[in-house]
C-alpha cells in the first residue's frame, strides 16, 4: 500500500480548471523517481500508472479479485468509504423507509380502494420508483461525488444538485421537529399514568369524550338529540352521529385535547404565531444534539448507529402486530385496509396518489441517495442493494398497514363507530389516534414507549441522510473543509436548530404543514425530472450503460433503458400536471390557510428549485467560448475531463470513451489555457509554483496535439513556457 498525498490547493468541485474529455494527454512528471511507483496496485496491467502527485492517485489496497470490494480499508482515502458491507445497505434502507411508510401509506391504501391500491402502487414502483432509485444510486457510486459535484458529465445541470441540497436542508429542519415531538411524548410515557388518559386536567374542555361517555341507554330515555337520560338527568350519549348533527358538538378524545391544548398549545391560526414553548425548544435541541453526535465522524459513525436505528423499528412493529391482531375489533380494521374496491382504479387520483407515495417513500430526488452511494467502493453491487431496499420499502408499507389498522379497528369497536371515523394519517395518527388507543390496553406506558421509540428510530435514519447530504455537498464543493468536518456539522446543526425555533411556537404546526406541502411536494418532481433529462438525454443512456457495465461487471437490463427513456419521465410529468390540476389551498383539519400563507409556501418551493435555471444561465453567461448561445449549450452538456471514477485505477477501466483522460489533475498541473494574456514560467520539479485561478475561468478543449495550442517545451529536468498566456499561478510539486 502506498500513500500519495492529494494536492491540497486543488478544488475538486470547481469548474474553472476543468477540461473536456475529447482528447488525452500523456505526460511524465519531471524529476519523479519512477521506481517509487508500484504498478501492481493497478488492476489493469496494460495501464502505465501516472507518475505525478494527483488527487486521483490515492492510496488503495489491491485484492486478488479486482471486483471484490475490500472492507475495513478505505478505497478512497480522501473522501472515505463505508466501513462494512451492511453499513451502506442499512443506511439506505433507513433513509428510504421513514415515517411516511407508517403514517401515510396505510391511510392512502384505505382511501384509494384498500387492497386494490396495491395494483397501481406496485406498477408505479416498477416504472418510477426502482428505476429512478437505481439511477441516483449508481450515479453517486460511479463518480464518488455528492449532489453538488456529480454533474461534471453535464455541468449546466449543477443547479439540480444545489436544489437537492436546499430541499434536504429545508426538509431536515421540519422533519427534526417531528422527532422532537416524538422525544416529548417518549418522556411523557416514562410514568405510571399517561397524562392523556383522563379528562380531569386543566387543559381539558367540556367536550372531552370521557365527560360525555357513550352508553347503550338500555335503562333510561333516548332523547332526540342523541343523549340518554334517566330520573337523575344526563347519563351519556347513545347516538354520537345524531348528537353531532343536532347539537353541532364534536366529541374530542383526551389524547387530541392533550395534543392541541397542552403539547402544542396550538393557536387559532398561523396569523397568531406566539412565542416558542420552552419544553419543545429543549426537545428540539435534544434532537439536534443526537444528530450531531451520530454524524460527528460522518459515515464512520452513522454506519454503526444504523445497525440499531434501521432494525429496531421492525422489532417493535412485530411486537405491535401480534398485540394488535389479538385485540377485539382488529379484524374490522384489517378488512378496511385490504378489502379491494376495484372500481376505484378508474379514478386518476388513485394512480396519482400511488405514484406520489412511491416517489416520496423511496426518498427520490432529495440528494440522499447520491450522497450515501458516493461513499461506496467502486465495484459494490448497487443493483442488489436497490432491489433489497425496494422490497423492504413495500414490505414495511404493507406490514405497517396491518399494524396500524388493527389498532384502528380496536378503537372503532371501543367507541361503537366505524373505522373510517377514526382513521387518520400524519401527525394525527402518530400523536392522537395511537396514544388514545394505548390508554385502553394493559400497561399503557409500556406500549406508548414502544411506539414512540419506533417513530424515533424510523425517522432518525432519514434525518441522518438529509443532514449528511448537506454536509457532503458542502465539503465536496469546498474540499479544504474536510479537515474541519466536526466544526462544519456542528455549525449546520446549530443553524438548523435556530431556523427550526419558529416550529416550537403555538403557530408552529401550521408552518410545518405548509413547509411539508410545498417544500417536500412538487419540488422533488422537478428535480427528479431534470436529473433524468441530464443523465439519459444529455449524457446519453448508452454511455451511462457502458459506465455501469464497467462498474458492475455485467450488462444492464433493457428495462432500465425503457424506463429511463420514456416511462419514468412520462410518469413524473403525469404526477406534476395532475398535482397542479388537482391543487387546492392548504388546510389543516378544518382550518383554511390565508392566501398570504399559501403565497409564502410557493415562495419557499420556488426558492428550492430556482437554482436550476439560475445556475444554467450563469454558466452560459460565464462561458467565453464558443460564441453563440447554442454552441455554449452544447459545450456545457459535454462531459469535462474530471468526469468519471474518482481513482485512477478505476478510470483506467474506461475503454469505451475515446481520449478519456486518466488523470485530469495531473494534466491540469502541466497545461495552462493559452487564451490568457500574462506571462509566467514553470520551473523545474524541485521548485514550488503556485496556482491561483479565477473562479469563473473558462474551460478549454484540449486535443491530442497540444503543441498546436501553445508553445510548450519539455525535458527530463524541467518544463518551460516561452509565451504562455495565463491568469493562473501554480503552486504544486511538478
Binding residue ranges for Na(+): 94, 96-97, 101, 361, 458, 461-462
Question: What does the buried/exposed string (b/e) look like for 625-641 if buried means 16 or more CB atoms within 10 Å of the residue's CB?
Answer: eeeeeeebbebbbbbbb
Beta-strand ranges (E) seen in 221-366 are 221-222, 227-230, 233-237
**What is the phi/psi pair of residue 212, to 5°?**
-125, 75
* DSSP states of 327-347: STTHHHHHHHHH---GGGGG-
Cβ contact 575:521 at 8 Å: no
Q: What gap in Å lies between CA 162 and CA 614, rounded to an integer?
A: 11
Question: Measuring CA to CA, how many Å separate 477 from each of 170, 371, 609?
Answer: 19, 13, 19
Find where cell 493562473 sits: 728
Cβ contact 43:705 at 8 Å: no
10 Å Cβ neighbour count for 371? Answer: 32
Nearest to 139 by CA among 639, 681, 708: 639
Q: What gap in Å lies between CA 381 and CA 384, rounded to an integer?
A: 6
Q: What gap in Å lies between CA 715 and CA 61, rounded to an integer?
A: 33
| CA angle (367, 311, 279) in 5-degree steps | 75
Beta-strand ranges (E) seen in 117-222 are 221-222
Q: What gap in Å lies between CA 609 and CA 234, rounded to an integer?
A: 59
Nearest to 496 by CA among 184, 101, 165: 165
Cβ contact 165:469 at 8 Å: yes
Q: What gap in Å lies between CA 295 and CA 60, rounded to an integer?
A: 25
Cβ contact 579:352 at 8 Å: yes
Cell digits for 474? 458542502
Q: Return all residues near 86 (Cβ < 8 A) that are at least 6 apart.
A: 307
Cβ contact 87:386 at 8 Å: no
- Three-state DSSP at 213 gives coil
Q: Return all residues near 50 (Cβ < 8 A) that are at least 6 apart.
A: 29, 56, 57, 648, 662, 663, 666
Q: Return all residues near 598 (Cβ < 8 A) that are at least 6 apart.
A: 514, 585, 586
**What is the phi/psi pair of residue 409, to 5°?**
-60, -40
Q: Return all residues near 302 (Cβ < 8 A) that are at least 6 apart.
A: 91, 294, 295, 464, 468
Q: What gap in Å lies between CA 167 and CA 609, rounded to an integer?
A: 8
Q: What gap in Å lies between CA 411 and CA 500, rounded to an integer?
A: 34
Strand bridging mode 227-230 / 221-222: antiparallel
Cβ contact 436:447 at 8 Å: no
Question: Measuring CA to CA, how many Å separate 111 from each of 105, 117, 325, 350, 429?
Answer: 10, 9, 21, 9, 15
Whether the ω angle into residue 553 lies within 30 degrees of 0, i.e. cis, is no
10 Å Cβ neighbour count for 241? Answer: 11
Residues of the binding site: 94, 96-97, 101, 361, 458, 461-462
Nearest to 173 by CA among 602, 457, 492: 492
Amino acid at each position: 500500500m502506498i500513500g500519495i498525498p492529494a494536492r491540497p490547493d486543488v478544488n475538486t468541485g470547481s469548474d474553472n480548471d476543468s477540461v473536456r474529455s475529447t482528447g488525452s494527454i500523456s505526460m511524465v512528471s519531471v524529476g519523479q523517481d519512477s521506481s517509487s511507483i508500484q504498478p501492481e496496485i493497478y488492476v489493469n496491467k496494460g495501464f502505465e500508472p501516472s507518475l505525478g502527485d494527483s488527487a486521483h492517485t490515492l492510496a488503495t489496497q489491491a485484492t486478488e479479485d479486482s471486483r471484490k470490494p475490500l472492507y475495513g480499508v478505505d478505497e478512497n482515502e480522501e473522501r472515505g468509504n463505508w466501513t462494512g458491507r451492511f453499513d451502506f445497505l442499512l443506511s439506505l434502507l433507513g433513509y428510504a423507509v421513514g415515517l411516511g411508510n407508517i403514517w401515510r401509506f396505510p391511510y392512502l391504501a384505505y382511501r384509494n380502494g384498500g387492497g386494490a391500491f396495491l395494483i397501481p402502487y406496485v406498477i408505479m414502483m416498477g416504472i418510477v420508483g426502482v428505476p429512478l432509485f437505481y439511477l441516483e444510486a449508481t450515479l453517486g457510486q460511479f463518480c464518488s461525488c455528492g449532489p453538488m459535484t456529480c454533474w461534471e458529465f453535464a455541468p449546466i445541470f449543477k443547479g439540480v444538485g444545489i436544489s437537492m441540497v436546499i430541499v434536504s436542508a429545508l426538509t431536515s429542519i421540519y422533519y427534526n421537529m417531528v422527532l422532537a415531538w416524538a422525544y416529548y411524548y417518549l418522556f411523557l410515557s416514562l410514568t405510571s399514568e399517561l397524562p392523556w388518559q383522563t379528562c380531569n386536567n386543566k387543559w381539558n374542555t367540556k367536550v372531552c369524550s370521557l365527560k360525555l361517555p357513550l352508553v347503550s341507554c338500555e335503562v333510561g330515555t333516548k332523547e332526540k338529540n342523541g343523549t340518554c337520560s334517566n330520573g337523575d338527568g344526563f347519563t351519556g350519549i347513545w347516538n354520537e352521529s345524531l348528537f353531532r348533527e343536532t347539537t353541532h358538538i364534536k366529541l374530542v378524545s383526551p389524547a387530541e385535547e392533550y395534543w392541541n391544548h397542552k403539547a402544542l398549545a396550538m393557536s387559532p391560526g398561523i396569523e397568531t404565531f406566539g412565542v416558542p414553548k420552552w419544553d419543545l425548544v429543549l426537545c428540539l435541541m435534544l434532537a439536534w444534539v443526537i444528530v450531531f453526535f451520530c454524524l460527528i465522524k460522518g459515515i464512520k459513525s452513522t454506519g454503526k448507529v444504523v445497525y440499531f436505528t434501521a432494525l429496531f423499528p421492525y422489532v417493535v412493529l412485530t411486537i405491535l402486530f401480534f398485540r394488535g391482531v389479538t385485540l377485539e375489533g382488529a379484524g374490522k380494521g384489517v378488512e378496511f385496509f385490504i378489502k379491494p374496491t376495484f372500481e376505484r382504479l378508474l379514478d386518476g387520483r388513485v394512480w396519482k396518489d400511488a405514484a406520489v407515495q412511491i416517489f416520496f417513500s423511496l426518498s427520490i430526488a432529495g440528494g440522499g441517495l447520491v450522497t450515501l452511494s458516493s461513499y461506496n467502493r467502486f465495484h459494490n453491487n448497487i443493483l442488489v442493494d436497490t432491489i433489497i431496499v425496494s422490497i423492504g420499502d413495500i414490505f414495511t408499507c404493507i406490514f405497517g398497514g396491518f399494524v396500524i389498522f388493527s389498532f384502528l379497528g380496536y378503537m372503532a369497536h371501543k367507541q361503537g363507530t366505524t373505522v373510517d371515523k377514526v382513521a387518520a394519517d400524519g401527525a394525527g395518527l402518530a400523536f392522537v389516534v395511537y396514544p388514545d388507543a394505548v390508554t385502553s390496553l394493559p400497561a399503557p406506558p409500556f406500549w406508548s414507549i414502544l411506539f414512540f421509540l419506533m417513530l424515533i428510530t424510523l425517522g432518525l435514519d432519514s434525518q441522518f441522510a438529509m443532514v449528511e447530504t448537506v454536509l457532503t455537498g458542502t465539503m465536496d464543493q469546498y474540499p479544504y473543509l474536510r479537515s474541519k468536518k466536526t466544526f462544519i456539522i456542528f455549525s449546520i446543526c446549530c443553524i438548523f436548530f435556530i431556523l427550526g425555533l419558529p416550529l416550537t411556537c403555538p403557530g408552529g404546526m401550521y408552518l410545518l404543514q405548509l413547509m411539508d406541502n410545498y417544500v417536500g411536494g412538487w419540488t422533488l418532481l422537478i428535480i427528479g425530472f431534470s436529473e433524468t433529462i441530464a443523465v439519459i438525454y444529455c449524457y446519453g443512456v448508452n454511455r451511462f450503460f457502458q459506465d455501469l457495465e464497467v462498474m458492475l461487471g455485467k450488462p444492464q437490463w433493457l428495462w432500465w433503458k425503457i424506463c429511463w427513456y420514456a416511462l419514468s419521465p412520462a410518469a413524473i410529468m403525469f404526477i406534476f400536471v395532475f398535482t397542479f390540476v388537482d391543487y387546492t389551498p392548504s388546510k389543516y383539519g378544518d382550518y383554511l390557510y390565508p392566501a398570504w400563507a399559501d403565497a409564502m409556501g410557493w415562495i419557499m418551493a420556488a426558492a428550492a428549485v430556482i437554482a436550476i435555471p439560475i445556475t444554467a444561465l450563469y454558466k452560459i453567461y460565464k462561458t467565453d467560448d464558443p460564441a453563440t448561445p447554442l454552441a455554449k449549450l452544447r459545450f456545457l452538456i459535454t462531459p469535462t475531463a474530471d468526469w468519471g471514477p474518482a481513482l485512477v485505477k478505476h478510470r483506467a477501466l474506461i475503454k469505451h470513451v475515446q481520449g478519456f483522460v486518466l488523470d485530469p489533475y495531473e494534466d491540469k498541473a502541466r497545461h495552462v489555457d493559452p487564451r490568457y494574456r500574462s506571462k509566467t514560467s514553470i520551473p523545474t520539479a524541485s521548485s514550488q509554483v503556485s496556482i491561483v485561478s479565477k473562479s469563473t475561468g473558462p474551460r478549454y478543449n484540449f486535443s491530442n496535439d497540444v503543441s498546436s495550442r501553445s508553445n510548450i517545451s519539455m525535458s527530463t529536468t524541467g518544463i518551460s513556457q516561452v509565451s504562455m498566456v495565463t491568469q493562473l499561478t501554480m503552486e504544486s510539486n511538478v
